[in-house]
């Protein structure tokens, strides 16, 4: 009987842990959605609590303030996307050997990310929009530095080997333009839909993936002209 009671207690503890994990996921999903549309300063803890259907005091139990919640939302998926891109770049390096190309490196860096967001469904697409929105803010840029610098510098290192006669300045400017195009893509504002009268769609990541690395590679080459 004592053993059975102990097992029930352990099961109860696991259930509570699972409930806590589920609550955290719901909070982070709600905050991610709201931050992706309104940014850090356009969202309150009450907004998040109302979207989840909980009292604000429970949010304060998990997160000491809104900034802490904002940082948690950013960090939750950052490790996944940066990790996948790092693996893709390392695999590309091995495959390319002494002959890396700009387009090959960009495919490894960009395609991996676009696939993750598109195939990951609504929550990952919300995170994509979240990153795009906050990347141009001081608080977002600081988190970009913290979580994404290693994988970006890995890409830059490969690009330097692919373009050995280029000045370092041109490589970094090239990455700057790539980053801008990627963030505009992740934002999915719908502007290209309206401009093209529906010929193109901002959420058509497969169509973007088909073109963006090739387009950006040509831009890098043109910097030397």
Q: Are 39 and 130 in contact (CB under 8 A)?
A: no
Name the band, by pLDDT with cuts 50, 70 and 90, for residue 1. Answer: very low
What is the average per-residue pLDDT within 163-177? Answer: 96
Name the band, by pLDDT with cuts 50, 70 and 90, for residue 22. Answer: confident
The CA distance from 74 to 140, in Å, is: 9
* pLDDT beyond 70 at 189: yes
Average pLDDT for the chain: 92
Count how many domains the chain has: 1
Q: In CATH, what number is assigned to the domain containing residue 25?
A: 1.10.357.10
H runs (alpha helix) in the chain: 2-38, 45-52, 56-62, 66-96, 102-106, 112-120, 122-134, 138-162, 168-187, 191-195, 205-222
What is the average per-residue pLDDT within 181-202? Answer: 96
CA 100 to chain centre: 25
Print the domain residue range for 81.
3-222
**Residue range 39-84, pLDDT digits in tens:** 999 999 999 999 999 989 889 889 989 999 999 999 999 999 999 9
pTM, two decimals, is: 0.87
CA dihedral of residues 170, 150, 76, 201 (deg, nearest 10)? 30
**Residue range 93-145, pLDDT digits in tens:** 999 999 999 999 999 999 999 999 999 999 999 999 999 999 989 999 999 99
* pLDDT beyond 50 at 178: yes
């Amino acid at each position: 009987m004592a053993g059975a009671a102990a097992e029930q207690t352990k099961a109860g503890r696991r259930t509570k842990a699972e409930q806590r994990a589920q609550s955290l996921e719901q909070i982070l999903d709600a905050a991610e959605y709201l931050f992706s549309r309104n940014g850090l300063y356009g969202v309150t803890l009450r907004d998040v609590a109302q979207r989840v259907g909980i009292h604000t005091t429970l949010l304060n139990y998990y997160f000491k303030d809104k900034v802490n919640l904002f940082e948690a939302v950013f960090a939750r998926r950052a490790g996944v996307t940066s990790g996948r891109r790092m693996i893709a770049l390392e695999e590309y390096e091995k495959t390319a050997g002494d002959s890396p190309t700009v387009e090959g490196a960009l495919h490894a860096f960009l395609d991996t990310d676009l696939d993750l967001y598109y195939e990951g469904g609504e929550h990952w697409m919300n995170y994509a929009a979240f990153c795009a929105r906050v990347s141009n803010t001081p608080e977002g840029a600081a988190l970009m530095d913290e979580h994404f610098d290693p994988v970006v510098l890995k890409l830059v290192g490969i690009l330097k080997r692919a373009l050995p006669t280029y000045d370092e300045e041109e490589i970094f400017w090239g990455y700057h333009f790539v980053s801008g195009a990627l963030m505009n893509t992740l934002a999915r504002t719908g502007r290209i839909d309206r401009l093209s009268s529906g010929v193109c769609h901002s959420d058509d990541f497969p169509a973007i993936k088909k073109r963006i690395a090739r387009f950006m590679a040509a831009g890098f080459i043109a910097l030397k002209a």
